[in-house]
Amino acid sequence: MRRSPWRRWSSFRPCGRAIRRSGLGLSFATIFPKAESGEYCDVLRWSQRAIDLADGDPTKGSFIIGSPLAVAFASRVIARIYLGRPGWRDDLRDGLAIARSADPMSYAFVVAYAYGVGIPLGAPTPGDHAVREIEDALRIAERSGDDHALAFVSVTLGHALVHRHTAAERDRGQTLLAEVSDVFLRRRHNLGELPIINVYMARERARRGDRDGAIPLMRAAVDHLFSNGQSLGWGIPATGVLVETLLDRGAEGDVAEAEAAIERLAAAPADEGLVMREIWLLRMRALLARAHGDATAYAHFRYRYRDMAKTLGFEGHIAWAEAMP
């Protein structure tokens, strides 16, 4: 499987000097590979550097991207979410406001990065407002004729819909993800997004009752993410989906495999303060304790999970925690 488009920019060495040398317009090329590999302290620092360089000018340094400032706000959204820092909602609001008045690619980037990553992580929820925003970006991308912008937003809408509550919406999301996956495979681009797409398509398959068919697909996707240095990116929610599905099935060996998956994620080397991993681990350990029949440990982890979700203001996790009995 090929690397994602962001890794094709890896010749731009990721550092503050690279942003100054290559120009603000290519700042995303130095920031996104670090996000993909889970180095969010660097992402936060370099996003801030790009914002400072733009000095409030939405189009300063425009080159491939019409508004580097809007994209820098979006990358800071994700860094702040992963690190549990305040201000990500303000960045989301500001990035979207700037991007709407810019070019379709900038709008697609901001919507895809903020919602397409943020919703699966459990920070913003796929509420009606978010879905309308994504669908608006999709219409703009369709009118623009920009295939890459269309691809980014299509994946984002698929991710949002498979996190909605109704079966009809989740079915639509699964269909959209399947269509986009097929396009990526045929056109040989955005292949780095396929593992997480496969995880969520497999989750919908499991929800329909075919856990035996879904789990090998999830397992392969998670293994791919870990072997390709993305354990602390998409590897976090992907592990969560795998663990929950294994525990739901409860076949022989499933609890042991779920526990091993949790420990692999916990052991992955990371920057200090990677809050996103911590909150997912609390959720998974609560589910594991319930599967073991340990009511005391379950109550302990569930309480800590709910408290952390509320403290951080992660709306998705708040809803998921409240749904735990």
Question: Side-chain half-sphere of 121: how many Cα atoms within 13 Å?
Answer: 27
Rounded to two decimals, the pTM is 0.90
Helix or strand or coil: residue 10? Answer: coil
Rounded CA-CA distance 153/146 in Å is 11
Rounded CA-CA distance 111/99 in Å is 9
Residue count of the chain, please give it: 325
Rounded CA-CA distance 77/316 in Å is 15
Stretch 77-92: mean pLDDT:
97
The pLDDT assigned to 6 comes to 33
Task: Kindly state the helix (H) or strand (E) to which residue 163 belongs, with its residue range.
Answer: none
- Joined together, the tokens standing for residue 91 give 């960045």
Instruction: Write down the residue that tokens 């929950």 correspond to.
Output: 244
The pLDDT assigned to 25 comes to 61
The pLDDT assigned to 9 comes to 32
Nearest Cα residue to 121 out of 38, 214, 178, 219: 38
Residue 218 banded pLDDT, cuts 50, 70, 90: very high
| Residue percentage of the chain with pLDDT more than 90 | 75
**pLDDT above 80 (res 153):** yes
Stretch 180-204: mean pLDDT:
90
| Residue with more model confidence, 279 or 37 | 279
Exposure string (b/e) for 271-295, b if CB count within 10 Å is 16 or more?
A: eeebbbbbbbbbbbbbbbbbbeeee
Sign of the torsion angle spanned by Cα atoms 77, 37, 45, 18:
negative
Task: Kindly state the helix (H) or strand (E) to which residue 204 belongs, with its residue range.
Answer: helix 194-207
**pLDDT above 50 (res 1):** no
Residue 265 banded pLDDT, cuts 50, 70, 90: very high
The pLDDT assigned to 193 comes to 87
What pLDDT, in 10s, does the model give residues 42-72? Answer: 999 999 999 999 999 999 988 778 899 999 9
If you average pLDDT over each of 1-5, 50-54, 145-149, which comes out highest? 50-54
The pLDDT assigned to 257 comes to 98
The pLDDT assigned to 300 comes to 98
Residue 23 banded pLDDT, cuts 50, 70, 90: low
Mean pLDDT, the chain, integer: 90
